[in-house]
């Protein structure tokens, strides 16, 4: 029975340490590369008055300059009230988005498209991205589970560590005093 209790304590301590590491990795991770995301959702909204909303350096892309696939994606998003998923490669490679460096990594930024005299704001939102930049998104479930364990049980880590240290110290000192 003593052996199983030791195994249980080691397993709990190991999960606690892994959850601390996973939570730190998720919090410190920068923006993932858009090409590693599963999909990108586009939101298109009409800009009513463009007079004072934008600086003089804002680049406006004419609808005619978009590729056929980008035009189709723009039309679907413009006609939909909800965000429309598009292929990641299309969002990254087309003029529907701007690629900027932000927070240490590439980031898809919004663009402006002029269609039939009206100005539209195209806002991309990468979806199904890795929680930790540089790792495959298939590991998201493991990182999310460990980070959730950390969020739930982290207030108990310090008191449990103190209790564990006292128990281990007591056993060591007790054994040393008996056979000393």
- Looking at 127, 148, 170, the residue that finishes a domain is 127
Q: Are 78 and 44 in a shared domain?
A: yes
Kindly state whether residues 62 and 80 are assigned to the same domain.
yes
My answer on whether 49 and 123 are in the same domain is yes
- Both 24 and 103 in one domain: the answer is no
Please give the Cα distance from 12 to 4 (Å, whole number). 12
8 exposure class (CB count in 10 Å sphere: 0-12, 13-18, 19+): exposed
The answer to whether residues 18 and 82 belong to one domain is no
Residues 117 and 67 placed together within one structural domain of the fold? yes
Q: What is the pTM of this model?
A: 0.58
Distances in whole angstroms, Cα of residue 24 to Cα of each of 19, 82, 156: 8, 33, 17
User: What distance in Å separates the CA atoms of residue 74 and residue 26, rounded to the nearest whole number?
Assistant: 33
DSSP state of 132: S
What pLDDT does 49 receive? 61
Per-residue confidence in pLDDT tens, the chain, 180 aa: 678 888 888 898 899 999 999 888 888 877 677 777 777 888 888 887 655 556 556 678 888 888 888 888 888 888 888 888 888 777 777 777 776 655 555 567 778 888 888 888 888 887 778 888 778 888 888 888 898 899 998 898 889 889 988 988 888 887 777 775
In this structure, are 43 and 120 located in the same domain?
Answer: yes
- pLDDT at residue 52, as a whole number: 52
What is the domain range of residue 43? 34-127
- Contact between 83 and 75 under an 8 Å Cβ cutoff? The reply is no
What per-residue confidence (pLDDT) applies to 111? 80
Q: What total number of domains does the chain contain? A: 2
pLDDT computed for residue 107 by the predictor:
65
DSSP category for residue 35: G
Residues 20 and 52 placed together within one structural domain of the fold: no
Same domain, 58 and 113: yes
């Amino acid at each position: 029975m003593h052996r199983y209790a030791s195994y249980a304590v080691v397993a709990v301590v190991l999960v606690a340490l892994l959850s601390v590491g996973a939570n730190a990795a998720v919090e410190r991770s920068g923006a993932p590369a858009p090409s590693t995301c599963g999909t990108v959702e586009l939101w298109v909204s009409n800009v009513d008055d463009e007079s004072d909303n934008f600086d003089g350096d804002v680049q406006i892309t004419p609808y005619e300059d978009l590729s056929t696939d980008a035009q189709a994606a723009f039309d679907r998003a413009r006609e939909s009230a909800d965000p429309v998923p598009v292929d990641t490669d299309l969002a990254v490679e087309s003029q529907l988005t701007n690629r900027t460096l932000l927070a240490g990594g590439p980031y898809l930024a919004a663009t402006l498209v002029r269609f039939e005299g009206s100005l539209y704001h195209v806002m991309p939102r990468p979806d199904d991205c890795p929680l930790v930049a540089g790792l495959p998104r298939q590991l998201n479930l493991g990182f999310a589970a460990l980070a959730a364990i950390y969020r739930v049980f982290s207030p108990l880590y310090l008191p449990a560590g103190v209790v564990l240290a006292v128990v281990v110290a007591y056993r060591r000192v007790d054994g040393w005093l008996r056979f000393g």
